Amino acid sequence: MEILTLILKIAAVVGLFTLLFLPLAKVTAWDDDSWYVRYTVSAVATTAWLGLLIFFPGAIITCAVVWAILLLCSLRVPALRNLLPFWRWLLALRHRIKGDSPEFIVERVLGLRPIEDAPTDFKGVRDYLAAYRSYDDSGEALLEFSCGISGVTDDFVEKKAKDGLGAMGAETYKIEHLSPGHWLLHFYKTEPKNPLDDPIELTASDLADWDGKYVTYGLTEAGEPARLSYAQTSGIVVGGVPGAGKSAGATLLTLPLLASPKASVAIFDGKGGMDWAWAEKAASLYNNDCDLDLPTATEQLENLAQRCVEDLKSHPWSDADPDFWHSGASALHPFHLVVIDECQTVFDITGRSKEDKALVERCKRAVATIVRKGRSAGWCVMLLTQKPTADSIPTNIRDNCVVRFALRVTTREAAEAVLGSIPEGDPKPTEIPAPRRGGAVVQGEDGHTQSVRFAYLPVTEAAKALESSTLETVVAGLEE
């Protein structure tokens, strides 16, 4: 009987030891050594204390006194808490048994731990906020994470997300940079279908009145409507290789304004072809002869720049308010958009005569004036080119354009000519598949880029929309 009792006591001690290490199952590969050591010390100490009570039940009072002394001493030496029974096991259990808690995902799977602080548990006070949604029927899990710890950068999060694919049981991931220090991580069990791979085609019946600010031109990679706000935007750059969908994209960006009494659109077509013929009658100024008659184009651009400056000085939209957008566009005081397609025809000095070089410099100054001063005056310049270089789009003008669209390009130099520097990990226009006509990378004021795809509207449909007397909105057409 005594032997059976001894066997049962030994089994109880072994079972207890095994139970204590269950929270470590399948995740030790993502633990740091110091945490593992502290946990092991705590588990061994717990087993020793309980083993002592099992074999010597009368020692419970002595044990209680020693525990109380250790607890008091731990106020000065926190490491002594590891010697208390079940201390670290209880701290870890709620995060490690519940494998879908934000703390578990952030600290134990992705390894995004708090700052080092030995006296506290989990390596420091958590200087982050996290929310987690486990895998749904679509095979996607979401981790929203914001952190103010120095060193937790875009590159750091990118690397940790990639390293954590195995722990998450995911095949791929995607990271959205929501704001500085704030990310949304998507984990997918299988490669998700990209909504941008499907073309989007519109008809004239989908089009509409401009609301005075926004134009919806396609879809984002998240499947949401992609929108451009002209409010407080004085410069837009659109560039891409021939056939990438630049002209089709420009059609959707300008058509709502051409159809609206709240906007005035001047068009300079440097190619000199028929790409913009559909808009000729609706445009306030139409010049498709820039390459052959540079003096006229120069004079027209300078006149527009002068009107922009006068608007800014006189504030015709309000006697008291110096910002056009506080009142908004109206038929009395319309928003002015200046479109320059194949802008290299008025910017590039390569092979030009001395007289033409002087005219080019005047064109650059006129455009730069509108881009610099147009934000509060209700003026904007849209520059388009299929030859993205620093000669086609002067960097001093590009850098003042807050919205930049890069359709597919083949070189890093061409991508940077349109977008400037691209943050590491952001989508790049060189990665756009050739079949994705109208695919683009758009860069906003925060410098980060996102993948979008322009919808396609045939120019015959655009012309039909301008002739129609009952227009609906592009926004409504795309969001229905």
| Residue numbers of the domain that contains 379 | 197-479
Same domain, 40 and 135: no
- At 26 the pLDDT is 47
Boundary (domain end) residue, out of 135, 162, 192:
192
Tell me, what's the pLDDT at 98?
60
CA distance 332 to 416: 39
Looking at per-residue pLDDT, the higher value among 32 and 297 belongs to 297
pLDDT for res 275: 87
pLDDT of 460 > 90? The answer is no
Of 462, 461, 442, nearest in space to 453 by CA:
442
- Supply the pLDDT for residue 95: 56
Question: How would residue 387 be classed by pLDDT, with cut points 50, 70 and 90?
Answer: confident
pLDDT tens, position by position, 446-457 = 777 889 999 998
My answer on whether 181 and 300 are in the same domain is no
Give the strand pairing for 439-443 and 449-454: antiparallel
Q: Is residue 113 located within the same domain as residue 225?
A: no
Predicted confidence at residue 24, as pLDDT, reads 56
Q: Are residues 79 and 167 in the same domain?
A: no
**pLDDT tens-digit readout, 134-153:** 888 888 999 998 887 777 78
- The pLDDT of residue 119 is 41
Residue 140: partners with Cβ closer than 8 Å, 6 or more residues away = 186, 187, 188, 189, 192
Which CATH number does the domain housing residue 446 bear? 3.40.50.300
Tokens matching residue 57: 């039940």
Say what the pLDDT of residue 25 is. Answer: 53
What DSSP element (H or E) covers 289?
A: none
pLDDT at 453: 94
pLDDT at 475 over 60: no
Domain match, 8 and 127 both = no
DSSP string, 207-257: -----SSEEEEEEETTSPEEEEE-TT--EEEEE--TTSSHHHHHHHHHHHH
Stretch among 42-46, 225-229, 294-298, 339-343 having the lowest mean pLDDT: 42-46
| Domain end marker among 73, 92, 111 | 92
Q: Which of 4-18, 83-97, 155-169, 309-323 has the lowest mean pLDDT?
A: 83-97
The average pLDDT across 111-136 equals 62
**Adjacency order of strands within the sheet including 128-133:** 128-133, 140-147, 182-188, 172-179
If one compares 205 and 342, the residue with the highest pLDDT of the two is 342
**Quick one: 175 and 306 in the same domain?**
no
Spatial distance between the Cα atoms of 315 and 175, rounded to a whole number of angstroms: 43
The answer to whether the beta carbons of residues 388 and 139 sit under 8 Å apart is: no
pLDDT over threshold 80, residue 12: no
Q: What pLDDT shows up at residue 369? A: 96
Tokens found for residue 333: 């005081």
Residue 239 · residue 418 · CB < 8 Å: yes
Together in a domain, 84 and 228 = no
179 and 218 fall within a common domain = no
Strands (E) in 97-224, as ranges, are: 128-133, 140-147, 172-179, 182-188, 214-220
Residue 123 has pLDDT above 60, yes or no: no
**In terms of pLDDT, which residue wins out, 329 or 46?**
329
pLDDT at 380: 96
Q: pTM of the prediction?
A: 0.65
Distance separating alpha carbons of residues 429 and 408, to the nearest angstrom: 5
**Which pLDDT score, from 0 to 100, does residue 192 have?**
79
- 103 DSSP 8-state letter: H
3-state secondary structure of 168: helix
Please tell me the predicted confidence (pLDDT) of residue 96.
55
Could you identify the residue written with the tokens 């977008």? 419
Q: Check residue 135 and give its pLDDT.
A: 87
- Verify that 342 and 438 share a domain, yes or no: yes
**Is 134 in the same domain as 79?**
no
| Least confident window among 204-213, 287-296, 318-327, 341-350 | 318-327
**Which CATH number does the domain housing residue 111 bear?**
3.30.1360
Residue after which a domain boundary falls, among 46, 67, 92:
92
- 307 and 288 part of one domain: yes
pLDDT of residue 35: 64
State the pLDDT at residue 360: 93
Please give the pLDDT value at position 10: 73
265 with 343, same domain: the answer is yes
Tokens read off for 424: 């590491």
Amino acid identity of 350?
Answer: T
- Provide the domain count of the chain: 3
pLDDT of residue 313: 84
Beta carbons of 254 and 339 less than 8 angstroms apart: yes
pLDDT band per the 50, 70, 90 thresholds, residue 317: low
